[in-house]
A and B are shown apart, each in its own frame.
Chain A
Amino acid sequence: MSRSLLSIEELGVDGVQRVLELADTMAEVNRRPNPKVPALRGRTVCNVFFEDSTRTRLSFETAAKRLSADTMTFAVSQSSLNKGESFRDSIETIAAMGVDAFVIRHASAGAPWLVEDWTTASVVNAGDGWHAHPTQALLDVYTVRVALNRTAGFDGLRVAVVGDIKHSRVARSTTTAFKALGADVIWVAPTTLLPPVVGETATDRLDDVIGDGVDVLYMLRMQNERMTEALVPNLREYTARFGLTPRRAACLAPSTIVMHPGPVNRGVEIAIDLGELPGSVVKQQVTNGISVRMAVLYDLLSANPNSTSDIEINDDVAAAPKEHP
């Protein structure tokens, strides 16, 4: 049981499984007419976004509210960081207001680890630089788990992550999560968009990967500034080599799942209407994001008491047996 969720590595395989199972419970809550439970009443979750990401922030905010936690938002544009207040001061000031969990998005890799050092609150990494985005990875594997009904794990599942892996926290975390559950992951990218040292199987031939058969095709977002850094010549060539074009889509097995962390750069990495892709689970990823983030917040905050309490625990659950016939 950990206090914070900083990376998939630190969460570990058991932790991933625990969150996925909790997410099933949360998904059931989200299917109800009134998708709200009182579980985290009285807890405060502060979204601290030093980098703009409306989608992730809304997802966390919704998740916290459905668990009845109070939420605060600290976005850098409205902050005093511009007035020279230090990162540490900002965090310690917010912590002093009584926060149970920080959800941190920062453009700098490693920032959530610093926050964890400075506070006793739980810390959730909502994306740090190019490094990690563990809740995205969890919602990705949860989506595949639900779509393929694979609750036992992903042994033998073939996953291809395609695109700008070098600059992608999503690629790093999602690869780790898929592999933790037993999947085989291959990276598909030109060398310029791979990290300097590649620890995974990698290729620059998407057609071969599709031809060999793939169960999950994970398309990454391609950003325009990569052109000016001479990492790829132009978007036309990128799409021709690494995009999901109508021709490639036609080659996919009907059972292949297509994923994307959003927002999709239409016409670039996915050059086909998602509605025409029967295997697309992009919308499910967004929906599942709420359940998974609820699971994460509940997992951390139900284990990290915000106050030392003298309340005597004298309850019937304590008497419940471990197993039932």
Chain B
Amino acid sequence: MSTILISGGMVVDQTGARTADVLVADGVIVESHDGNPDVTIEATGLTVTPGFVDLHTHLREPGKEEAETIETGSRAAALGGYTAVVAMPNTDPTQDCVSVVDFVRRQGKLAGLCDVHPSASITVGRAGHQLTPFAELAEVGVRLFTDDGNGVQNPLLMRRAFEYSKGLGITMAQHCEVEQLTDGAVMHEGDCCSHLGLPGWPAVAEELMVHRDIELVRLTGAPAHFLHLSTAKSVELVRRAKSDGLPVTSEATPHHISLTDELLRSYAAIYKVNPPLRTMDDVVAVREGLSDGTIDAIATDHAPHVAATKEQPLDLAPPGMLGLETALGVCLAHLDMSVSDVVAALSWKPALIAGLGGLHGRPIVPGEPANLTVFDAEEEWEVAPAQLASKSRNTPFVGVPLRGRVKHTVLGGVVTVENGVATR
């Protein structure tokens, strides 16, 4: 394996910030080594951090390879500074058994651009009826379980899931949506949807399930992770649960800290996402949740869709937005947080939630695995959909000023992105 010198960058990790060279040999950060490095990355003026970890990536393979494959999604992830992603299980077939999970992991290894860690569904086929084999799946390394795309509607089933998960070292991750309140909904329920004559997705549909699961955590003692919090009240519910000492964590997406439902006035389905873009008050509350640690992680909910499906009226188009390649730029542009706190939410905090804390989001000190991201925290740029590595183009951030751009990514001592270009 090659040796890498990352010279002169501002190293930011959980131990603090300092200007330092980082040396990598055989996939591990080292104090020193003999001879000249094989690769030198000039990082003066750049920030060097542990690689990012995305808790929420839809790679679409198997089943929807026309929208994304594990390889194209991994490349997009690497370009976004990610060294690990959690692959969401709403594939076809569903990641609800060892064979599908193994397939996804294997495809990730073949691509070699990013560690792909499959999550698994809570219920078989995400149908909400029967639990998946948690223990078998935990045995092969699955740590997060979710029916994402849908929430588990049945409270009894969810109670059983929490109870059964205890002691297996796994976490239930909930997409919070009481579906009876969102039948046919395409956007946030409020002023905008009233005017546009579109069926609304009320905030309470999310908040009811956040509340239900907090109480089930209180009842069972099992941990829970809340996916893509989008409303002010949801953030407040999680804040209180944490102050009660309950084992809950949560995430927010880049789009929920930067975009509002007003964008739907264009009737462009590119802005349709689930949970929907909400009001500015909600955006502010989610940002505050990230600032005060109520929300642990920034997760992309990267959801590729082929163009034709988004060229439809809002109610017919599928929900979802790309996120991997723009996450850092959106976060640094829209969050009033230090670079260090933003990186915490992109890297070591989600690494712990994903159960990857031994490999990713590690301090940048000798002996640790070389999963690193080097970015320019100041560069201002705009996304060009045609240049995205993702197979799809459904980014909502066209024309949105971004700040902070990934330059280099190192995965296990191998450079996956060099000067903003994927190496494979």
Q: Residue-by-residue, is A46-86 near B (CB-CB < 8 Å gives 1, otherwise 0)?
A: 00000000000000000000000000000000000000001
CA separation between A128 and B315, bound complex, in Å?
Answer: 12
Known contacts A113-B267, A114-B267: A108-B314 contact under CB 8 Å: yes
A197's contact among B190, B312, B315, by CB below 8 Å, is which?
B190
A-side contacts of B196, CB under 8 Å = 109-110, 131
Q: Residue-by-residue, is B185-229 near A (CB-CB < 8 Å gives 1, otherwise 0)?
A: 000011101111111101000000000000000000000000000
Known contacts A109-B267, A110-B267, A196-B189: A87-B313 contact under CB 8 Å: yes
Excluding A129-B315, A169-B197, 16 further A-B contacts by CB distance (< 8 Å) are: A87-B312, A87-B316, A88-B311, A108-B312, A109-B197, A109-B267, A109-B314, A110-B196, A110-B267, A110-B314, A111-B313, A114-B311, A114-B312, A196-B189, A199-B194, A199-B195
- Identify which of A110, A130, A197, A199 gathers the most chain B CB atoms within 10 Å of its CB: A110
CA separation between A132 and B308, bound complex, in Å?
Answer: 25
Q: How large is the interface on B (under 10, 10 to 19, 20 to 34, 35 or more residues)?
A: 20 to 34
Interface residues of A: mostly helix, strand, loop or mixed?
Answer: loop
CA separation between A169 and B267, bound complex, in Å?
Answer: 16
Closest partner residue, chain B, to A108 (CB atom): B313
Residues of A74-129 at the interface with B, using a CB-CB cut-off of 8 Å, are 86-88, 106, 108-111, 113-114, 128-129
Write the residues of chain B forming the contact surface with A, with a CB cutoff of 8 angstroms: 189-191, 193-200, 202, 266-267, 308, 311-316
Q: Is A198 an interface residue (CB 8 A)?
A: yes
A-side contacts of B194, CB under 8 Å = 195-199
CA separation between A311 and B303, bound complex, in Å?
Answer: 53
A-side contacts of B266, CB under 8 Å = 113
A-side contacts of B197, CB under 8 Å = 109, 128-132, 169, 172, 195
B198, A109: Cβ atoms closer than 8 Å: yes
A-side contacts of B190, CB under 8 Å = 196-197
Q: Residue-by-residue, is A178-211 near B (CB-CB < 8 Å gives 1, otherwise 0)?
A: 0000000000000000011111000000000000
CA separation between A93 and B198, bound complex, in Å?
Answer: 28
B-side contacts of A195, CB under 8 Å = 193-195, 197
CB distance from A128 to the nearest CB of B (A): 8
A88, B308: Cβ atoms closer than 8 Å: yes
CA separation between A88 and B196, bound complex, in Å?
Answer: 21
A-side contacts of B200, CB under 8 Å = 196
A-side contacts of B314, CB under 8 Å = 108-110
- Identify which of A106, A109, A169 gathers the most chain B CB atoms within 10 Å of its CB: A109
B-side contacts of A196, CB under 8 Å = 189-190, 193-194, 200, 202
A109, B312: Cβ atoms closer than 8 Å: no
B-side contacts of A172, CB under 8 Å = 195, 197
- Identify which of A108, A169, A198 gathers the most chain B CB atoms within 10 Å of its CB: A108
Which 8 residue pairs spanning A and B have beta carbons closest together?
Answer: A108-B313, A110-B267, A131-B197, A195-B194, A130-B197, A197-B194, A197-B191, A111-B313
CB distance from A52 to the nearest CB of B (A): 17
A110, B195: Cβ atoms closer than 8 Å: no
B313, A114: Cβ atoms closer than 8 Å: yes
CA separation between A134 and B200, bound complex, in Å?
Answer: 22
B-side contacts of A130, CB under 8 Å = 197-199
CB distance from A168 to the nearest CB of B (A): 8
CB distance from B270 to the nearest CB of A (A): 12
CA separation between A9 and B199, bound complex, in Å?
Answer: 20
CB distance from A23 to the nearest CB of B (A): 25
CA separation between A197 and B200, bound complex, in Å?
Answer: 10
CA separation between A169 and B194, bound complex, in Å?
Answer: 11
Closest partner residue, chain B, to A112 (CB atom): B267
Closest partner residue, chain B, to A167 (CB atom): B197
B-side contacts of A111, CB under 8 Å = 313
CB distance from B234 to the nearest CB of A (A): 18
CA separation between A169 and B196, bound complex, in Å?
Answer: 9
A86, B315: Cβ atoms closer than 8 Å: no
B198, A131: Cβ atoms closer than 8 Å: yes
Closest partner residue, chain A, to B195 (CB atom): A199
A108, B316: Cβ atoms closer than 8 Å: yes
Known contacts A86-B311, A111-B313: A129-B267 contact under CB 8 Å: no
Q: List 19 A-B contacts (CB under 8 A).
A: A86-B308, A87-B311, A88-B311, A106-B313, A109-B313, A110-B313, A113-B267, A114-B267, A114-B312, A129-B197, A129-B315, A130-B197, A130-B198, A131-B198, A172-B195, A195-B193, A195-B197, A196-B193, A199-B194
Closest partner residue, chain A, to B313 (CB atom): A108
A-side contacts of B311, CB under 8 Å = 86-88, 114
CA separation between A197 and B313, bound complex, in Å?
Answer: 22
